[in-house]
Amino acid sequence: MEIGRRSFLSFIIGGAAGTAISPLPWKLIDDSSIWSQNWPWTPVPPDGEYSQSNSVCTLCPGGCGITVRKVDDRAVKIEGMKGHPVNDGGICVMGLSGLQLLYGPTRVKTPLKRAGKRGEGKWEKISWDEAISDVTKKLAEIRSKGESHAVGSIVNSDSGTVPNLFKRFLTAYGSPNFMTMPSMQDSYNMTMLLMQGVSAQVGFDAENADFILSFGSGIIDGWGSPVRMFKANSAWKVNGKKVVQIESRLSNTAAKSDKWIPIKPGTEAALALGIANVIIMESLYNRENIESQSGFDAFKELVLNEYSTDNVSSITGINSATIVSLAKNFAQASKPLAICGKGQGSTPGSLNEFMAVHALNALVGNINKEGGVWAVSESDYIKWPELEMDSIAESGMQKERIDGAGSEYPHAKSLLNRLAEVINSGDGSLGALFVSDANPLYSMPDSKALNTAFDSIPFVVSFSSYMDETASNSDLILPNHVYLERYEDVPTPGGLQKNVIGLTKPVVTPQFNTKNVGDSIILIAKALGGSIADAFPWDSYDACLKETLGDKWDVLEENGFWSDSDSKVATGEFNFYPDAMKSLSSFSSVSIEGSTISYPLVLIPYDSIRLANGYIGDPPFVIKTVEDTVLKGKTACVEINPKTGKELGLTEGRYAFIHTPRGKAKVKVHLYEGIMPGIVALPRGLGHTAYDKYLAGKGCNFNELIGPAEDPISGLDAAWGIRARLTKI
Amino acid sequence: MKEEGKHKKAKKYGMVINLDECTGCGACMVACMAENNVPFREDESNKLDSIAWMRVYKLTNGKSYPEADICYLPRPCMHCEGDHGHSPCVSVCPATATDYNYETGIVSQIYTRCFGCRYCMAACPYHARYFNWWDPVWPEGSTKYLSPNVSPRMRGVVEKCSFCFHRYQLAMDKAYLEGRTVLEEDEYQTSCTQACPAGAITFGDLNNPEHKVHQLAKPDNKHGGRPGNPNVFRLLERLGTNPKVYYMSSREWVRQAGDNYIDNEDFAKNYRH
Amino acid sequence: MDSALIPEGVTRCSFGKFALGIIIVGGVLLWGVYAMMLIWLKGLNQTNMNDFYGFALWIWADLGVIALGGGAFFIGLLRYIIGKDELKNIINYAVLIGFICYSSALLILAIDVGQPLRSWFIFWHANIHSMLTEVAFCLSCYFAVLTIEYIPLILENRQLNKVPFFHNLAHNMHEVMAIFAATGAFLSFFHQGSLGGTPAVLYGRPFAFREGIFIWPWTFFLFTWSAAAYGPCFTLFVTRLTEKITKKKLVKQNVIDLLAKISGWTMGTYIIAKIIDTWYWATVTAPDMGSNLIDFYSNNPFYGIWILVVEIVICGIVPALILLTPKGRSNPTLLFTAVLLACIGVLLNRWVMVLQVMAVPVMTFENWVMYIPSWQEVATTILPVAYGIILVMISFRYLPIFPQERELNS
């Protein structure tokens, strides 16, 4: 058949018309739409049986109770636990994001042994047996050389069973070098010791105070137990209580306070004593009760001679009238409370400042009173049998600590801030180091120097659950379960005026080939044998924990927390003027590094609840909440006053370099009217090099820009800033 | 207004956010993301395309140091009713993919019906609507924490705060099983309300005089839900969107920042109606 | 080579030259198609749109081409309903331009939506309250009308017309064209109006919002009227451009003059209405919402008050005055300037009603947000231009578009 043009056209048109009225195109259109509604690459979360499980969050020392919502064996949401004495249903950004850590890409999934150079990121997966035996061999070798004291450990705190297992292990092994991450608790503890003669935790009856004078404490920026402080802050608002915030930057706390008083940073102690001066001058204190206390006369002499209002005004930059009215309001309040510890309190700060503030509290008579400051005896539930040391252990324990705590600085328990300098200057060395629940290579000030010090430690073992900076720079990783996969006791959070012990529970089964760090320690001890093994009579960490908690266990297992019915007060005689305070007889602020000529500005850190700056970095959800005036792309923003910006020719959004005597970083300029001219503020918590792509490589780490400043009395880090320069790019 | 008569028992779920108490901590934002399977990407610092059903804005009073002041303002979807009975977004959606529920007053979004024309985004003065410019991608293993109560959205559709509508449905299911048709105030609370550590968010039925939201906002339903409490205001009240999210602040500059005013006189005249 | 297809009695350039032109423009077209595929496969993240700019370059292009394509319905109305018979000499070209504009608009819309596979939901789940629904329905229907109007023109191709069926079909379609013209005018009135209503019903956006009558905001009528005024200008502009490129006179001056005069009147009346609308909005509507006129034109790097002056005075009053004066119409340079300014004016109006709406902050604590399209957006916006040029080239070469061409060039 010949196909002519006409028949061809008819065929085409007819065919097209025929297809159009057939169901085919309509079916295709419909099907393609249905397909677009069910794209296989868009996940559909499976449904299942719903359940809830109570536990405790350990992402910060706040100790909040959490309720984890589950679908079958998957945890799908973390919420604040209703009725918990710390947070009563409230929760913070980090706590809410815990599941991103549990299931996230930063987990160390199995024991790892370094395969390339340190920090290169090349790892070999090994079995747990191999990992434990590697550690054991190395430790046995060091011990056999009689250098047991050259083994150290860094953990987050010194309370709770896991830190105490480390401490016990080191003791049995023969090393005094049990180190903890520093915080304001160290300074508070030392203040308690020096001024009240007690070994106690500080507790604040914040909820009942009616006038809160905060020397730069980030009450709603993550200070203390954060959610508890948020709640207290709201209660103050509702009940018309007053908050005065003293700091050089308008932080969230300052903005929410009733009065923000900007101060020259580093002069807070002078202000505290200046306030004391007014109170004494105007007899605004209970003379009968106070004047009889020891050291009061000397204290009175000190503040009257050196801290006159005019003098303090010129030191702090706050005008005299403000100081006087502040002092009067504070003293005349029925339950005044002064607190200190800058920002989140992640650095210990100047001991003078802590003592001056504490003296102020004592002056208005609020020690161990409702709405005041409490000396809380820690709940000593850890009562393990006395361990027997062999001769190596005994001789090792006789040695001085590498960081000088207890010797050079007699009151200090741990001075991790000194470790880098001691090692780098050749004054000491470590043969092996354990790091658990801490990320010192990121979060210690002058982290670069600590990195150098780590380079000279031949064997670094990390117990981290995540590939953090310290884990990446270790030789061996024995990954711990994440808090949602393990049992662990959570000691009383800092700042609470009564003991509340929490218990984390395995909400889900361990997702990877990890092991509770407590078990790792017990296994290592047992493998080392002898008196070390004998010191650890438990079959497992869980058994140890259960035994340790004794009759509290059932309550903890049931409720997730155990609390003292009332405060356990440590009583001692108050001393207004301990020897340590003598250096205040002529005020000088803790000097910071750098000359005013080459570094005309002062760089200070600031803390934000949306930026975690401790062991754990921001999970994706949290980093998402960070404002674009804090982090933009890969660059962190510095805050400067528009006046400073004008002087330097820096406009909003300009890129610049910040230089300090310790380092240099690229930053973006954010002009902020809420900061004192001449000051540059940089957020803590950015500049991670480890963790996942959501966090790593974003912004710069404040700790790389700051140097340490040793407090002359405590030996703790007292640096509140560093001199700096901004240059245009 | 017709609906009012027809649905006498209609609820009007809404929020009162106390800006004096809000600390800007961002817990509401993350609580929302975690509850509603909100996706995230490597860089979320471009706030022009970062999905945040609940976004906390930082307001400044515009004054110089040391008189400067800041205030945070959490902004969920306002679930506008509109003075003339239609919310700005619902009326414009060509495919009825977003709807106003007269039973609850909640503005819904049907992801599988939305075809991504984004007209609703143009209509919303609060920037409460977000478009899925990218396919949502979760890191390996992380899909485990996705909640089955809220379906993850595909690329190319608009999403927004639903006042955790799935929680309403779950609460209603539970109530029906127990033979009730009315929910207690605490039975249905949004994820952000529940999480807020400062307790700054109050959620409930604005039409129910026993609910705290009603007592705080004192809405005047005869006049488009205007607040009766002098410290309470709504965002862009003057546009007539009739939003269900009320804000409370003791600071005048914050209240003034809630809307556009030609001058102080205009503020004085229009703030209290 | 293709002489058998070329209409009788007219001269066309060599096939080689024609093919070269097609290849060059085709290259641009392919670039656009590449961008389009990228967008369809990877999604709208290929654009620089964001949550503040849900509507951007494409929506402007849609509104723009539909306004420019308005010549088709208005000239059709004048020719078939009002009875301006001379306009039959330009109506074919107006229909072709309209067809190109409307098909372009549909194409861009198909790229612009996030879920193109579901775009038919606009019909299936139609929300009758939405201006976009009305736009979608009227636009599709009117596009069908334009296709019907364009088909007889194709059938008049020398070879196709030899087929008796096609010949008869074309003839019969011509006979009933008045009905389609009337339908087209009716549909256009609504969708042009709905497009005007699209921004104006956004009562959350004080810059766009306009009051109105019943359900129709004032811009509903302004958009229709402006399409009627400026659409024919675009027809005149393209006709003049075609004449320049082909170096041929294609339409007699009296036809041009008539259309220009009508445009002058519609434009003049439109611009008066536009000034009244702007005045009322600036002094009543916006202040009621808490904004001064100047708030919409300050504190940003681009949108100054100049834009209002350019749109209303330079691209509104000026071309209207030129077109209203016989001298202006008879001077080819002035006439060309006027129609060019008019086209710019209507495009600027659509730009302002789409992009400036997105740029203006509404909440007091937000800032102006600027936008620069990505290359993919630009390429897909140029794509229909290239496609239009190709369709014009082919149609001009093979179809008897201009009835007066033979006479004018004999």
Write down the domain spans for chain B: 2-271
* Residue C128 contacts B where some CB pair is shorter than 8 Å: no
> Cα(B47)–Cα(C365) distance, rounded to whole angstroms?
14
Q: Is residue C89 part of a domain?
A: yes
Q: Is residue A255 part of a domain?
A: yes
What are the φ/ψ torsions at residue B108 (nearest 5 degrees)?
-95, 170
* Residue A35 contacts C where some CB pair is shorter than 8 Å: yes
Q: Is residue A50 part of a domain?
A: no
Chain C partners of B44 at a C-beta cutoff of 8 Å? none
CB B197 within 8 A of CB B11: no
Share of chain C above pLDDT 70, in %: 100
Chain C partners of B60 at a C-beta cutoff of 8 Å? 365
Chain B partners of A627 at a C-beta cutoff of 8 Å? 47, 58
Q: What is the DSSP letter of A306?
A: H
Provide the number of structural domains found in chain C. Answer: 1
Alpha-carbon distances of A135 from A124, A130, A138, A432, A462, rounded to whole Å: 15, 9, 5, 10, 11
**Alpha helices (H) along A540-693:** 541-549, 552-559, 620-625, 642-648
Share of chain C above pLDDT 90, in %: 81
Out of B113, B155, B241, closest to residue C125 by CB: B113
The answer to whether A677 contacts B65, with C-beta atoms less than 8 Å apart, is: yes
- Among the listed residues C41, C49, C36, C21, the one whose alpha carbon sits nearest the alpha carbon of residue C104: C36
The answer to whether C163 contacts A6, with C-beta atoms less than 8 Å apart, is: yes
* Residue C365 contacts A where some CB pair is shorter than 8 Å: no
SS3 state at A563: strand
pLDDT of residue A3: 60
A473 and A359 both lie in a single domain: no
The whole-angstrom distance between B1's CA and the closest CA on chain A is 36
A331 and A420 both lie in a single domain: no
The H-or-E segment that residue A359 falls in is: helix A351-363
| CA-atom Rg of chain B in angstroms | 19
Q: Within a 10 A sphere around the Cβ of C81, how many other Cβ atoms?
A: 12
Asked whether residue A325 carries a pLDDT value surpassing 60, the answer given is yes
Which token pair is A605?
């850190």
- Among the listed residues C66, C68, C89, the one whose alpha carbon sits nearest the alpha carbon of residue C258: C89
> Cα(A327)–Cα(A311) distance, rounded to whole angstroms?
15
Q: How far apart are the first and last CA of chain A?
A: 80
Alpha-carbon distances of C352 from A244, A585, C196, C311, C319, rounded to whole Å: 49, 69, 12, 9, 19
With cut-offs at 50, 70 and 90, classify the pLDDT of residue C215.
confident
Q: Is residue C393 part of a domain?
A: yes
Sign of CA dihedral C338, C339, C344, C346: positive
With cut-offs at 50, 70 and 90, classify the pLDDT of residue B40.
very high
Chains that touch A (3 or more CB pairs under 8 A): B, C
Measured in whole angstroms, the distance separating CA A320 from the mean position of its chain's CA atoms is 36
Flag the least confident range among A61-70, A323-332, B3-12, C336-345. B3-12
pLDDT of residue B6: 44
pLDDT of residue B7: 43
pLDDT of residue B2: 42
CB A449 within 8 A of CB A423: no
> Cα(A406)–Cα(A87) distance, rounded to whole angstroms?
36
> Cα(A440)–Cα(A181) distance, rounded to whole angstroms?
7
* Residue C123 contacts A where some CB pair is shorter than 8 Å: no
A237 and A366 both lie in a single domain: yes
- Among the listed residues B235, B224, B221, B230, the one whose alpha carbon sits nearest the alpha carbon of residue B251: B230
The answer to whether C115 contacts B115, with C-beta atoms less than 8 Å apart, is: yes
The answer to whether B123 contacts C125, with C-beta atoms less than 8 Å apart, is: no
Q: Is residue A201 part of a domain?
A: no
Who contacts C408 (Cβ-Cβ below 8 Å, separation ≥6)? C248, C249, C250, C251, C252
The answer to whether A100 contacts B56, with C-beta atoms less than 8 Å apart, is: no
* Residue B77 contacts C where some CB pair is shorter than 8 Å: no
A541 and A425 both lie in a single domain: yes
Alpha-carbon distances of A312 from A316, A323, A361, A578, rounded to whole Å: 6, 8, 19, 22
Measured in whole angstroms, the distance separating CA C159 from the mean position of its chain's CA atoms is 31
pLDDT of residue A467: 96
Asked whether residue A566 carries a pLDDT value surpassing 90, the answer given is no
* Average pLDDT score over residue span B30-57: 97
The whole-angstrom distance between B197's CA and the closest CA on chain A is 4
* Average pLDDT score over residue span A649-660: 96
pLDDT of residue C177: 86
Mean pLDDT, chain B, integer: 93
Chain B partners of A624 at a C-beta cutoff of 8 Å? 29, 33, 40, 44, 50, 52
* CA closest to B156 among chain C residues: C114
SS3 state at A71: strand
* Average pLDDT score over residue span A519-536: 96
| CA-atom Rg of chain C in angstroms | 22
The answer to whether A35 contacts C117, with C-beta atoms less than 8 Å apart, is: yes
Q: Is residue A16 part of a domain?
A: yes
Q: Is residue A573 part of a domain?
A: no
Where b means 16+ CB within 10 Å and e means fewer, A201-215 reads bbbbbbbbbebbbbb
Asked whether residue B1 carries a pLDDT value surpassing 50, the answer given is no
Range of the domain at C294: 3-403
Which token pair is A661?
């005597």
Which token pair is B153?
């959205």
Q: Is residue A516 part of a domain?
A: no
A450 and A320 both lie in a single domain: no
> Cα(C320)–Cα(C335) distance, rounded to whole angstroms?
10
A251 and A361 both lie in a single domain: yes
Asked whether residue B5 carries a pLDDT value surpassing 60, the answer given is no
Q: Is residue A635 part of a domain?
A: yes
Provide the number of structural domains found in chain A. Answer: 4
pLDDT digits (tens, 9 = 90+) for A128-138: 999 999 999 99
A397 and A543 both lie in a single domain: yes
DSSP A139-173: HHHHHHTT-GGGEEEEES-S-SHHHHHHHHHHHHH
SS3 state at A337: strand
With cut-offs at 50, 70 and 90, classify the pLDDT of residue A4.
low
A417 and A533 both lie in a single domain: yes
pLDDT of residue C409: 87
SS3 state at A53: strand
* Average pLDDT score over residue span A79-101: 96
The CATH code of the domain that includes A603 is: 2.40.40.20
Q: Is residue A655 part of a domain?
A: yes
Q: Scan residues 205-264 of B and list those with Cβ closer than 8 Å to C.
A: 235-236, 238-241, 257-262
pLDDT of residue A670: 98
In CATH, the number for domain B2-271 is 3.30.70.20
Interface test with B, best of C115, C215, C284, C296 (most B CBs within 10 A): C115
pLDDT of residue B4: 44
* Residue B134 contacts A where some CB pair is shorter than 8 Å: no
Flag the least confident range among A328-342, A675-689, C81-95. C81-95
A232 and A285 both lie in a single domain: yes
pLDDT of residue C410: 78
* CA closest to A39 among chain C residues: C115
> Cα(B30)–Cα(B24) distance, rounded to whole angstroms?
12
CB A442 within 8 A of CB A206: no
SS3 state at B249: coil
> Cα(C236)–Cα(A609) distance, rounded to whole angstroms?
64
Q: Looking at this protein, which amino acid is placed at residue A232?
A: A
Measured in whole angstroms, the distance separating CA C353 from the mean position of its chain's CA atoms is 15
C161-C165-C166 Cα angle (round to 5): 40
The CATH code of the domain that includes A299 is: 3.40.228.10
Q: Scan residues 48-67 of B and list those with Cβ closer than 8 Å to A.
A: 50, 52, 56, 58, 60, 63-66
pLDDT of residue A678: 96
pLDDT of residue C365: 96
Asked whether residue B272 carries a pLDDT value surpassing 80, the answer given is no
Q: Is residue C244 part of a domain?
A: yes
Look-up: residue for tokens 């889900």?
Answer: A508
* CA closest to B140 among chain A residues: A105
pLDDT of residue A59: 95
pLDDT digits (tens, 9 = 90+) for C172-196: 888 888 888 889 888 988 889 999 9
Chains that touch B (3 or more CB pairs under 8 A): A, C
pLDDT of residue C138: 85
Share of chain A above pLDDT 90, in %: 89
Asked whether residue C42 carries a pLDDT value surpassing 80, the answer given is yes
Q: Is residue C410 part of a domain?
A: no
| CA-atom Rg of chain A in angstroms | 29
Chain B partners of A224 at a C-beta cutoff of 8 Å? none
DSSP C18-78: HHHHHHHHHHHHHHHHHHHHHHHHH-GGGSS--SS-SS-HHHHHHHHHHHHTTHHHHHHII
Q: Within a 10 A sphere around the Cβ of A74, how many other Cβ atoms?
A: 19
The answer to whether C205 contacts B129, with C-beta atoms less than 8 Å apart, is: no
* Average pLDDT score over residue span A297-311: 95
